[in-house]
């Protein structure tokens, strides 16, 4: 069965815009799970632009499958180890970017990433690497001893939204998903997805988890969180 992870970062973005307590990311996380989400994703950025440390602390204390996205450095590693989430996804991070712009550079930071992953493996925290859909990155993910890879789906999502040909990118993702699966890596997808993108990518049997945030929270303003989750689950959980 394929799974849906709901990223609630932009609930915190909306809260922070007024500097108050509303809307509450923890309340929304509980609602998302009750509406059919399989896990909750949060990205604790180094600049704390949306999710704050207190959000992580509170979410870590309740019985919700939590996927924590963090930059690949020792400070963030230690924060994750203290809070002990069920899942961790290592992502590249730049202060000036609006959103994550690509996958990790596994070759340049190979030793560092492998060390951090080993620390999470020792605590039995499932670890995922946010990567570009390339065979080389899949191979390095296996060498690093990650449990999963989350393929950056920004390019194919943009092509689909602009009604441009996406067949080459889709073939690349399919090939990478099959290769990762053959190596024993669980395959996830994330970034820029909406109803249409999710429906297309859900046909790839090897992709087991879809992590979607901005679209779900934005769409929820119009039709409600419960309805959005229901519509996406209809595509991926046939």
Which pLDDT score, from 0 to 100, does residue 94 have? 65
Q: What is the distance between the alpha carbons of residues 48 and 25, in angstroms, rounded to a whole number?
A: 14
Which pLDDT score, from 0 to 100, does residue 237 have? 83
Q: Which of 232, 185, 237, 235 minimizes the C-alpha distance to 206?
A: 185
For 145-174, write each residue's pLDDT tens digit: 999 999 999 999 999 999 999 999 999 999
Q: Is the pLDDT of residue 99 over 70?
A: no
**What long-range pairs does 153-156 form, CB within 8 A, spacing at least 24?**
153/189, 153/190, 153/191, 153/192, 153/193, 153/197, 153/201, 154/101, 154/102, 154/191, 154/192, 156/197, 156/200, 156/201
Q: Is 126 helix (H, G, I), strand (E, B) or coil?
A: strand
Residues annotated as part of the active site: 43, 69, 191
Vertex 12: Cα angle to 34 and 37 (nearest 5): 20
CATH number at residue 37: 3.20.20.70
Number of domain units in the chain: 1
Mean pLDDT (the chain, rounded):
94
For 68-87, write each residue's pLDDT tens digit: 999 999 999 999 999 999 99
Q: Give me the domain span that covers residue 93.
A: 3-236
> Is the model's pTM score more than 0.85?
yes
Report percent pLDDT > 90 for the chain.
Answer: 91
For 3-37, write each residue's pLDDT tens digit: 999 999 999 999 999 988 999 999 999 999 999 99
């Amino acid at each position: 069965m394929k799974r849906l992870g709901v990223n609630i970062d932009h609930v915190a973005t909306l809260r922070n815009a007024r500097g108050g307590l509303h809307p509450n990311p923890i309340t929304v996380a509980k609602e998302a799970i009750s509406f059919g989400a399989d896990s909750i994703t949060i990205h604790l950025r180094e600049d704390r632009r949306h999710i704050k440390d207190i959000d992580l602390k509170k979410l870590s204390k309740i019985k919700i499958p939590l996927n924590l996205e963090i930059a690949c450095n020792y400070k963030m590693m230690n924060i994750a180890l203290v809070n002990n989430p069920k899942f961790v996804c290592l992502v590249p991070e730049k202060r000036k970017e609006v959103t994550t712009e690509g996958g990790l550079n596994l070759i340049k930071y190979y030793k560092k990433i492998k060390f951090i992953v080993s620390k999470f493996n020792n605590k039995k925290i499932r670890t995922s690497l946010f990567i570009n859909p390339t065979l080389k990155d899949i191979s390095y993910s296996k060498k690093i001893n990650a449990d999963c890879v989350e393929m950056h789906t920004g390019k194919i999502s943009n092509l689909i939204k602009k009604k441009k040909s996406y067949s080459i990118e889709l073939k690349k993702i399919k090939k990478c998903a099959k290769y990762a699966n053959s190596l024993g890596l669980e395959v996830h997808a994330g970034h820029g997805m909406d109803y249409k993108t999710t429906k297309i990518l859900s046909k790839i049997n090897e992709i087991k988890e879809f992590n979607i945030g901005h679209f779900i929270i934005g769409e929820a303003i119009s039709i409600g969180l419960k309805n959005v989750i229901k519509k996406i689950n209809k595509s991926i959980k046939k």
